[in-house]
Amino acid sequence: MKNKIMRSWSRKKFDAYLKNRATEDLEAINAVDDFFLQRRGYVFKQPKAKESVILLFSGGIDSTVAWATLIELYNYKVYPVIIDRGSKRRAKRERAAVKSLEKYFAKKYPDNYVEPFHLTVNTIAKEFSDTINPNFVSDQEILHNFQQNKWLANDDSNVVLVRTRGVSPYLMPFYGVVYSNYLKFVNNIEIKNIFVGANFTDGSEVSSQSFTALRSTLFAICTATADYSWNFSSVFLERETGVLLEKGGTIALGAKLGVPLEKTWSCYGDGIFQCGDRCATCVNRREGFASVGIEDKTIYWSSLKEKILGYIKFHLSKLKFW
């Protein structure tokens, strides 16, 4: 590959990773791959430089690094699409993060930049969100659930209150197909390459983001549209090219590409700052930075609070002498 972080693993090593976790099914992957090899002679084809690709974008670390990677390492024209689910809880902060990332990408990559498109879709059954209303569930409870691999609210814009083995996140790439259809219909632009920014770590907890699920998505997109020219994969996880990045690797790659990671928004809280310690995505995010020893410039409420408390305590202790 083109740099040390995006190294290319051998098939044997890649398969060993897959065999080691419960959310993967090597038999299913091989069945799909065999089918595509027979049908079209390839499973996944890396698009050529200057081709156009669609990217499912959320404003979080992974999809932001994916955006930079597709432009900087592959020289693609990237059409980011945001699945806007009208979530009120974090929508404001998230939108502000997306706006500032837009400015960064537009300025840095004027030739390959396309403004992210918002597709308004509600993918969560109302009956479900009514039953488990996030307003009545504490952050700690959600985090605890996430750690126990039960019910969770992983990310309000991507995965609201779903089971880790649920199907909701699985639906997202299909909206990439919807956006492709929209681009064809409205602008007469044809794009058959769809990417997501799932890394290997994501699929350990959330089965719909496993490599097996990614492959079955490719199969489902092609069969559902009776069109076998679709190309679908993750920027960070593809057996054909041997790319396999974990959360830390994704962060390291982003840092190397100069992506302003602190501008991305992962928290599902709605504070001015990301919480840092009360939600699963913040905990994941901090662990990711720590795992590769990269400085996390994000301002978290948890560390800010400590600083403020420390400052107050320091001055109070001084007061005692008066």
Give whichever of 212 and 266 is closer to Zn ion, judged by the CB atom.
266
Give whichever of 55 and 275 is closer to Zn ion, judged by the CB atom.
275
In angstroms, the Cα distances linking 115 to 2, 57, 182, 258 are 26, 11, 15, 20
Per-residue interface string for the shown chain with Zn ion, residues 288-317, x marking contact by CB under 5 A: ------------------------------
- Residue 221 φ then ψ, to 5°: -60, -45
- Cβ neighbors of 266 (< 8 A, separation 6 or more) are 60, 61, 155, 274, 281, 282, 284, 285
Q: How far is the CB of 236 from Zn ion (least distance, A)?
A: 22
Q: How far is the CB of 306 from Zn ion (least distance, A)?
A: 15
CA distance 251 to 104: 17
Q: How far is the CB of 108 from Zn ion (least distance, A)?
A: 27
Q: How far is the CB of 144 from Zn ion (least distance, A)?
A: 14
Among 55, 282, 286, 289, binds Zn ion (CB under 5 A): 282
Q: How far is the CB of 286 from Zn ion (least distance, A)?
A: 9
**Owner of token pair 């350990």:** 204
Which is it for strands 77-84 and 117-120: parallel, antiparallel or unpaired?
A: parallel
Give whichever of 63 and 212 is closer to Zn ion, judged by the CB atom.
63
Give whichever of 51 and 277 is closer to Zn ion, judged by the CB atom.
277
Give whichever of 192 and 286 is closer to Zn ion, judged by the CB atom.
286
Q: How far is the CB of 274 from Zn ion (least distance, A)?
A: 5
Span of 63-71, 174-182, 253-261, 282-290 interacting with Zn ion by CB under 5 A: 282-290
The answer to whether the CB of 228 falls within 8 A of the CB of 40 is: yes
Give whichever of 77 and 286 is closer to Zn ion, judged by the CB atom.
286
Q: How far is the CB of 221 from Zn ion (least distance, A)?
A: 32
Cite the DSSP H helix spans in the chain.
Answer: 11-19, 26-40, 61-72, 88-108, 126-131, 139-147, 168-187, 202-205, 211-225, 247-256, 280-292, 301-319
In angstroms, the Cα distances linking 103 to 7, 81, 86, 278 are 30, 16, 23, 29
DSSP for 44-87?
A: --PPPTT-EEEEE--SSHHHHHHHHHHHHTT--EEEEEEEE---
Give whichever of 214 and 267 is closer to Zn ion, judged by the CB atom.
267
Q: How many residues bind Zn ion (CB under 5 A)?
A: 5
Per-residue interface string for the shown chain with Zn ion, residues 241-280, x marking contact by CB under 5 A: --------------------------x-x-----x---x-
Q: Kindly list the residues in this chain that would bind Zn ion in the complex (CB under 5 A).
A: 267, 269, 275, 279, 282
